[in-house]
Amino acid sequence: MIWRNSYQALDLGSIQAPNVIGETLSGDAFELTSPKVLFGAFDFRGASELGVWSRLCQSESFGISTTFAYFLSRRSREIIQLAKDMTSPSLHSATVLVWESQLWREIIQPDRPERSFGCLIKDGVAEPILVGTPTEEAWDYFIEKLGARMKPC
């Protein structure tokens, strides 16, 4: 039997967070305020991984607002409609389409179109920035890091 190493999500550490400005699937203008947990993808093929992050968030009650974002390069009615069709209506107000994706793309450097990431943005800093498949180990690591960042000073 061939044993594989377990998959490890990549922690990019902390960075000054670029702005996240876009529109929710509910049609409202959106600008990210902190603290907020952000899960993102750069292509609709990332919907599967974002769906796993979403279910993991629902299983955990950490009392921080969560946003799911698609960082896209072009805007059209068809793209907006596709996003609405593939996202549960209950998540429309928490799902954002961001049209300026270059800075986030340069930070995350996705290795494939469906790659997702998660981070906590607090006081203008994104940390941890966890890139990769949302496995149970990745989620436990993310929650541990999240807890350390949310403790009062």
Question: What are the chain's domains?
Answer: 10-150 (3.40.30.10)
What pLDDT, on a 0 to 100 scale, did the predictor assign at position 136? 86
What is the overall mean pLDDT for the chain?
87
Q: Quick one: which of 112, 119, 118, 113 has its CA closest to 134?
A: 118
What pLDDT, on a 0 to 100 scale, did the predictor assign at position 1? 47
What pLDDT, on a 0 to 100 scale, did the predictor assign at position 6? 57
> Which of 56-60, 61-65, 73-77, 92-96 is most confident?
92-96
Per-residue pLDDT band at 153 (split at 50, 70, 90):
very low
Per-residue pLDDT band at 61 (split at 50, 70, 90):
low
Q: Is the pLDDT of residue 93 over 90?
A: yes
Phi–psi pair at 120, nearest 5 degrees: -105, 130
Query: pTM of the full predicted structure?
Result: 0.88
